[in-house]
Amino acid sequence: MKDMARRFLGKECIINTFNSQLDGTLKEVGDSAILLSRKGNDEVINLDFIVRIREFPRNKNGKKKSVVLD
């Protein structure tokens, strides 16, 4: 998971954990955690609890989609 998370460095991502969904810019990937910047605050998320990481979807004009359905 650590090697795959490095592909998303500097991109806006949606991160799914066991019980929540977070979105923000992936700033750093460590040995066992990632650093996510959300609304001006930094959060550290344990890699063991991450289920899915994906880049924030955009429409044809390049703007972020307002509704993301999974």
Identify the pLDDT of residue 42.
95
Helix, strand and coil content of the chain, in percent to the nearest 5, comes to 15, 50, 35
What region, left, alpha or beta, does residue 50 occupy, with left being phi > 0 and alpha being psi -120 to 50 degrees?
beta
Element (H, E) at 34: strand 33-38
Domains of the chain, first to last? 2-55 (2.30.30.100)
What are the tens digits of pLDDT across the range 21-39? 999 999 999 999 999 999 8
Q: Can you tell me whether residue 8 is helix, strand or coil?
A: helix
Identify the pLDDT of residue 65.
74
Q: Which two tokens stand for residue 36?
A: 């996510």
For residue 51, how many other CB atoms are within 10 A of its CB? 11
pTM of the model: 0.80
Q: Which two tokens stand for residue 13?
A: 């991502």
